[in-house]
A and B are shown apart, each in its own frame.
Chain A
Amino acid sequence: MKDLRTGPPGELHEPGLALHVEDLTVSYHGRPVLWDIDLDVPPGVMAAIVGPNGAGKSTLIKSVLELVPATAGHVRLFGKPYAAQRRRIAYVPQRTSVDWDFPTTALDVVMMGRYGHLGWVRRPGAADRDRALGALEEVGIADLAGRQISQLSGGQQQRVFLARALVQDADLYFLDEPMAGVDATTERAIVRLLKGLRDRGKTVIVVHHDLQTVREYFDWIVILNVRVIAQGPVHEAYTADHLRQAYGGQISLLRGIDEGAVPVAGEAEAPAR
């Protein structure tokens, strides 16, 4: 896929943006999953990608990470294609994407996050091990380092994946539904950690499914439904109108948002969780 507008390879294109997506179209069996996406995420924000089921949220991340081929368009991360920026980017896939019955320990999975920095053949050493233990500490499950991964709860599995991303020492983090199916304590811990990354100048981009918590957790929003419906700072772009455009008839989902759409943060009618 060659795009003349981006100039010769190696030249920086939109280096001031953590993520720059232009004219991206992805189709699956001839059906467009993402259509003509133009998207910019500045560095140092914590961004949510929201949208109804089938909106292409996961596909957008996978396409940015070159896991899914694009039909058209291009992606730049800090000004360069993904292949040139791998070491600056960490990815937390959906928890259910792997078989947790694999014979290994939590610590070992976290160490896999170091593999990209190690390169071929070289084995992780004591420094990598310390780094992994530190990451497990950060996600609050240092005591489970030696635990067989099949014996971890859903929330603990998610924390292990998060720790694996932490040891990648990235500048940009992509997370695919990290809060799906985890307990409230884990969700709070994950959010605190991600906000911590953001506060250290990292960029965090999260596929998120819970509209009720967007205002509380995020400062940047991308509302997606095959096309980009809206993007920008949460206080500007996260409006009931945009959500209605994205979610169409699923209005019941939006009830809490309507009240929250007034500039006050949506605490007024926090639904029972």
Chain B
Amino acid sequence: MRIAVASGKGGAGKTTIATSLAVIAAERGLTTTFLDCDVEEPNGHLFLHPALCQKQVVNVPVPQLDEKTCRDHGVCGRCGQACHFSAIVCLGDVVVVNPDLCHGCGACILACPANALKEVPHRTGVVESGQAGALRFAQGLLDVGQAMASPVIRRVKEWGAQEVPAGLTIVDAPPGTACPTVEAVRGSDFVLLVVEATPFGLHDAALAADTLEALGVRAAAVLNRVDRFVEAGRGITEFGGAILRGTMPVLARIPADRQVAEAYARGQMPIGVVPRFRQAMERLLTRLLEVARREAA
């Protein structure tokens, strides 16, 4: 079973909740894998302290031009016409390749009648993997300056799919609703949407809920950092859209807790030092697995 932990807004508590659930699941004897797919800013490792023993470079195949062959065939310019990402531009008899814009789709290679283009690897990031206690662990790291997170995310997911045990995989997804979030969530059996119970958080969660619906993935919400205002039921209807339309069950309401924030700020897992938070996470995992198994069945 693969469960992605997502959020609309950044800083909603996604990593705290994802790492907590993974650790508790492993304690319960489930074979558990943690995949950090927030490859722009992966933070799970800061709390899980994995021993990383494998490192795989992530490459996107980008075209390389054999100028002589190209010229011999009259610089037809079809590669430039085929590229929808401006990664190959043909101006007169000059062909320029910009690997940073290339999606690695191969359309230019298919278009070239002269076989003047071949694909060479262009590095965009790494996948690091290993073991964090009882957890299997992998994280993607997008290289700084690279724009496209999706290929790195795909490789983290591929690592997680190897030797699939009959266990649980927790995916820490990037915040938002754009392509990296979609790539991280795609293929999951269920999504836990972490909702920061503030106007910003509720608004962004409603957008994320729309995206999950478009993807056709089943999801449930956890309301995080709930204070008296939200407890009184105000705010949610105004800002929370889909969640309160009843299309998404709310599995738990986690109160705002300065002790949790301080533990996090010290780099400690809050489940290790704040007993009431551990209890909340224990209950959340039980409910989440119940609901996810029911939905998957």
**A and B physically associate:** no
